[in-house]
Structure 1
């Protein structure tokens, strides 16, 4: 059963509403998680349940919109949301297509004066298909890194990110950008993804563990990347979804504690009312166990369960989150 919307007050009058849409003209962007809608971004993943059917990122400011070079954009003040979608054959090597997509997105952001990346979402089919360096996720990472390198982005300019596989034959990339950078946070339990050793592919994944935005009104938003059962750089608890979930909880607790220390915001140490969690589950039958455990640990947080493939074939669940203080 869906609850009444709880709003997250964000910098510059931005808010996130986890149920339904915003007021007319006030939506910067929206993710329709339970049911696809033509005006909203989508993941292309089957809905498993929860009380977070939609994420509506609203603004108390005028929103302009347009489309250029295949990139759809929406802007309110200094916040720019970019969306790119195109067919993606699961049998193809995605590297060149991903590089070209990011080339367009980054060029659009730069032309708008919003070069700084705050959050990225990536969805593509058959993410684990292919052996060794031919795996589609490794090829995705290669294409993304090539585009970022060409555009002059360094490690410190990466942002929170998610990359998930599904069954829909579409490449979907969404970026939230601004003129000024956010504050990146790394997890002391994990090697930074952009510094993974060569065994995980020719190019390391290009994302930070979390990105925070600060702004007027003493508001702060923490956007946490997709987080899995990885300690150091290694997968733990292969084939054990319950144990993987406990490791994810420890990783999230560690990352939130680090965020609270780095940012001087004790309220970021826990998920509370207004926190939003998207939970990507490889095997749909595992969702009831996962949901029950997360409800016990963070009863006030909103949850969305989605059937998706995690970037490593031995990972069974991944969680991304939005929180505030």
Structure 2
């Protein structure tokens, strides 16, 4: 069971694929059954976040499936944890669910909160406070990526304000963007979905001072659903810290030149700004070090690989991750790696379904003991075929 400890708490990252069921709801119910049967010390109350990946053929079908799956989740959970339902085809062709659960909480340390538009969890242990939120979305059919991006960030901002936090307190953020490299017509000119999202992100992020760097993040495509954001944020105690980590072979995304950015004519005040994320973030507590690996692709410097072969791009992506989390690189940021860095979980986003077998073979060669989820999704640049993210423990 992939797990790691933070501040005396043990976090488990589990993934379930249905073994029975015909409808998506029946398949999700079977995954919940597997969870209940396979976890001895964990209950439904241990779950702090879930991500459900499904196949959908249209926005209307996606939203219909989303409602049905939430209804199924309500039958299993007394209070449904922060949940994202993502229109990315899983490798089994139907549905998989990732469940993040926690051990070691004392009564009163976990609080479920909600407002009119979102729900989130607050973990309070001693002086450390952590927020876990998922599924931040306009939650209705819309063709306007600008409005959907703005709404998602407003939902995020409202949670932070409620918890007396800022955007700079976000440690990890997942950004799911419908048809990420597609273009929409704004002001008689084309604007790329991902660039619109990045410019909206910049507009909100400017409200904070990111002294410890931007969050680790993934910006990835999905077939339908507009914009969905998940995030983890924390206010740390005096004994804990958060450190941003650069990749020795990649430029910081927030320092990209204009040449590798796309067009956005949808906004007047913010236009053609860079993606705001760190290549990795390390959360250090007295009990351990938790490493978030941002979505990583076959990019050197700021340029995409010239290779159009999935095998070569996958190998290059893995090499970029290995350089990023190497003890030598982490030492550059004052992070003690006297033991080793152990990857606990990976998620691979693959542009073409036909490439899944090749990617699986390569990933399992490099990471035979790591659980890896495989889903089909467009990457942030049209020429990129794969992106991989992960979590690790530093010993």
Structure 2 partner of 1:146: 203
Task: Establish whether residue 188 from structure 1 lines up as the match of residue 248 from structure 2.
Answer: yes
Count how many residue pairs are aligned between Structure 1 and Structure 2.
Answer: 314
2:137 to 80, 85, 90: 85
Structure 2 partner of 1:127: 180
Structure 2 partner of 1:47: 90
Task: Establish whether residue 303 from structure 1 lines up as the match of residue 372 from structure 2.
Answer: yes
Query: Cα–Cα, structure 1 residues 266 and 34, in superposed 2: closer, same or farther, change >3 Å?
Result: farther
> Structure 2 stretches of 5 or more lacking a match?
16-34, 37-41, 56-68, 74-79, 263-271
Task: Establish whether residue 255 from structure 1 lines up as the match of residue 295 from structure 2.
Answer: no
* Higher RCO (CA-CA < 8 Å; seq separation 6+): 1
Shift of the alpha carbon at 1:42? 3.0
Shift of the alpha carbon at 1:237? 3.0
* Native 8 Å contact 2:345 2:391 kept in 1: yes
* Native 8 Å contact 1:33 1:304 kept in 2: no
* Native 8 Å contact 2:54 2:86 kept in 1: no
* Native 8 Å contact 1:97 1:143 kept in 2: no
* Native 8 Å contact 2:174 2:231 kept in 1: yes
Structure 2 partner of 1:6: 2
CA distance in 1, matches of 2:48, 2:361: 32
Q: TM-score, normalised by structure 2?
A: 0.73
Structure 1 partner of 2:28: none
CA distance in 1, matches of 2:303, 2:393: 29
Shift of the alpha carbon at 1:87? 4.0
Shift of the alpha carbon at 1:6? 3.3
> Structure 1 stretches of 5 or more lacking a match?
none
1:151-300 matched pairs, under 5 angstroms: 151-154=207-210, 156-180=212-236, 182-199=242-259, 200-201=261-262, 202-217=272-287, 219-257=288-326, 258-259=329-330, 262=333, 263-269=335-341, 271=343, 275-300=344-369
How much is the aligned-residue C-alpha RMSD, in angstroms?
2.5
Task: Say which one has the larger Rg.
Answer: 2
CA distance in 1, matches of 2:390, 2:139: 28
CA distance in 2, matches of 1:87, 1:264: 43
CA distance in 2, matches of 1:55, 1:279: 16
Shift of the alpha carbon at 1:109? 1.3
CA distance in 1, matches of 2:278, 2:99: 22
* Native 8 Å contact 1:253 1:270 kept in 2: no
Shift of the alpha carbon at 1:136? 0.5
CA distance in 1, matches of 2:340, 2:299: 22
Shift of the alpha carbon at 1:245? 0.8
CA distance in 2, matches of 1:114, 1:59: 25
* Native 8 Å contact 1:193 1:207 kept in 2: yes
Query: Cα–Cα, structure 1 residues 133 and 143, in superposed 2: closer, same or farther, change >3 Å?
Result: farther
Q: Which piece of structure 1 moves more, 225-234 or 126-135?
A: 126-135
SS in structure 2 at match of 1:295? helix
Task: Establish whether residue 136 from structure 1 lines up as the match of residue 193 from structure 2.
Answer: yes
CA distance in 2, matches of 1:172, 1:186: 26
Shift of the alpha carbon at 1:191? 0.4
1:58 to 93, 102, 112: 102
CA distance in 1, matches of 2:140, 2:213: 28
SS in structure 2 at match of 1:134? strand
CA distance in 2, matches of 1:288, 1:208: 30
